[in-house]
Every structure is written in C-alpha cells, then in structure tokens.
Amino acid sequence: MKARLTLALAVAVAATSGCAVTDQVMNPPSGAPVASPQPVATATKATHLWHPAQGLTWQIQFAGALAPTTAEVVDLDGVETTKAQVAALHAQGKKVICYFNAGGYENWRPDRKKFPKKVIGKPLGDWPGERWLDIRKVKTLMPIMTKRIQQCKAKGFDAVDPDNMDGYANAPTGFALKQKHAVAYLKALSKAAHARGLAIGLKGALEIIGKATPMVEFAINEQCLQYDECAAYDPLTRVGKPVFHIEYQGSMESICARVPAGFSTVRKHLDLDAWAEYC
C-alpha cells in the first residue's frame, strides 16, 4: 500500500449499528460538535505505549478527503495528515496510526533528497516513483526514519505503520536482502518508536512474524484470507496482539465468516479511499 492523498479535516462521526458498517465521505458544517472522547485501549504503566486490544474496529484511508468514520482506530499518511486532524480524531475517542514507507523510496516525499543513491534500488512493482531501499544499511536509513517517526510523534499519532518491510520476498530489489535484515531493521524502528512513546506495527512480512512479535504491538495485513495466509499470525494473536486486516475481494458475508480470532477486518477499495465495510 502506498500513500498518495490530500486529507481534509472532518470531525463528525457517522452513527451506525449492526454487523456490517459502511463509511462514506461526508462534509459536516463548520463548527460541528465533536463527540466526547471514549477510551478504546489501555496503556502500560511502564511505557505508556498504546497496546491495542483485539476486536477494535479500524479504518485505513490514503486517498480522498478524510471522511468521518465509526472505526475506533484510523491509519493515515504521516506527511499528509495534519496535527489538527489527529487531534480531532482523538477528540472522538479514536487512536491514530501514522503510515510511512520504511522499505521503499518515494520520489515525491519532502525528505527524498536525504537518501544516498547507494541505498536506492530497483522500481517497486507497479508503484510509479517508488524504489526499494537497501534495508541492510540501517545506520544510513535510521536517521531519516527517526525524523519521520518524530514527525508522527509531533503530530500526536499513537503508533507507526512502517511499510514495505518484505523486500527479501520481492525480486528484483537490487539488493541481496534476507529475512534477517528485515528483523534487524524492524528492531531499530521499534526502538525508535518506543523511545518516543509510539506503538509500532508490522506490515506484511509474514515470514518474520515469530521474531517480530516481541517488537510490535500489532500487525497490519492485506489479503491473508484471499491467499490463505492468516494462520501465519498465530504467534501474535496468541499473546493478545491484534491484526488489523484488509480484504479487497469477496462478499462481506464470506469474509466475516472466515476471519480468525484476534483480527479486525475491513473491506476496502484498492485505492484505499474513504469507503469501507466492517465485520
């Protein structure tokens, strides 16, 4: 998933009921009242990190005007989202996750010139303007990624969502990436996030879930039902950590009937606009 969006502040919440819920773009009037905060998860006394509970509803939006949502957790682009938007979502009792691309270079980002040419690899699939990063170069990448994490913190986000950690499973990247490199990189990202009071999730990278579980508070998955891969998250869900899960195909009836315990599932359009359906 790649973030390309222009977000507009929206503070109204759509009230719904029942098993399946659909979010759509709404434009509330200026000065619309904000709902009273409702806690959706607890923090540990030792670190004050957000440790999301299993069963929270979630929304992920990277395209179009930011829409009101009934979801308790919202995943948004860290650059395009404003501090005011995060604060408005907090006022509604929601937790907000900060997306950034940890394993890929994007040629439109404000910090694009910070990346040395030696760490920029081959094009990233069907995503124009993106290239794989050499995540073996942790010392080179972490100053850049730490600034991104700090930006998430400054805007008030509760957690980070570092994308494209699975270069080892994609070819060609331009680098001899292995699972151990993803684990080492995730360890550094986790340390930087936790030091700033931010939770962190693992996006994809199913092969390293066992080693990643102690480093993260949640995971984000795309299409594990479609590809029959959901069981890979057993090490995470067994210890009470949630999987925020996206499917793009199939009926909600079929999807919801097969969702494993510990998963929070949303059905989305491929462009990750405001539209969503929940189990």
pLDDT in tens, 163-179: 999 999 998 999 999 99
Quick one: what percent of the chain has pLDDT higher than 70? 83
Q: For residue 126, what pLDDT is reported? A: 83
Q: What is the pTM of this model?
A: 0.85
C-alpha span between 94 and 49 (Å, rounded): 15
> Residue 94: inside a domain, yes or no?
yes
What range does the domain containing 174 cover? Answer: 61-223
> Residue 32: inside a domain, yes or no?
no
Q: Which residues pair with 105 in a beta bridge?
A: 131
Give the containing element (helix H, strand E) for 121.
strand 120-123
> Residue 189: inside a domain, yes or no?
yes
Q: For residue 127, what pLDDT is reported? A: 85
Answer for the pair 218, 73: CB distance below 8 angstroms, yes or no. no
> Residue 217: inside a domain, yes or no?
yes
Q: Could you give the number of structural domains in the chain?
A: 1
> Residue 120: inside a domain, yes or no?
yes
Residue 204's pLDDT band, with cuts at 50, 70 and 90, is very high
Q: Which residues contact 105 (CB under 8 A, 6 or more apart)?
A: 112, 115, 119, 120, 121, 130, 131, 132, 133
> Residue 266: inside a domain, yes or no?
no
C-alpha span between 115 and 100 (Å, rounded): 15
Q: Give the CATH number for residue 120.
A: 3.20.20.70
> Residue 210: inside a domain, yes or no?
yes
Q: For residue 47, what pLDDT is reported? A: 54
Statement: residue 7 has pLDDT above 90: no
| Average pLDDT value for residue range 266-277 | 96
Amino acid (one-letter) located at 36: S
C-alpha span between 8 and 166 (Å, rounded): 31
> Residue 213: inside a domain, yes or no?
yes
